Amino acid sequence: MSPRTSPVSPPITIRRAVARNAKRLTRLVRGSGAYAGQYAAAVAGYRVGPDYIEAHRVFVAVGADGEGGRVLGFYSLVLVPPELDLLFVADEAQGRGIGRLLVAHMRSEARAAGLDRVRVVSHLPAEGFYHRAGAVRTGTVRASPPAVPWDRPEFEFRVASR
């Protein structure tokens, strides 16, 4: 899929991530306000490396104009098994439609890859977002201490064929 510009103001472009984005993506994950407090340990040592970017379909939302081409969010689509592995929007960029734009892009990528559904294991504070973005709740993934000591909602995005 080619880069796409959204009607969100200022313009946001989604493009394939490259290895040099790895540090910024890692900072987005580790610095996410959704992982503050009791959730901080889950991402404290998390790293999005260049090898991960090369192995999966990782796309970044880049701000244009006043944003100076800065990465404002990203997602990672794993094809086998089909899963939205990561989706983060910078705290300061939330509420501008970037998350929804990333989900729409992910669904388009999944469709192009021949997938009919994409699984998401949600972080608890993101549960409402996934529901509003069109994902259907399919179950609960049980806690796996010490890394993740809480149950997490499991969702599925159904991908319509062309």
Closest CA to 104 of 160, 150, 66: 160
Its pTM stands at: 0.89
**What are the tens digits of pLDDT across the range 114-149?**
999 999 999 999 999 999 999 999 999 999 888 788
Find out whether 62 and 27 touch, Cβ atoms under 8 Å: no
Give the sign of the dihedral formed by CA 23, CA 53, CA 111, CA 83: negative
**What does the pLDDT read at residue 142?**
96
**What are the tens digits of pLDDT across the range 81-118?**
999 999 999 999 999 999 999 999 999 999 999 999 99
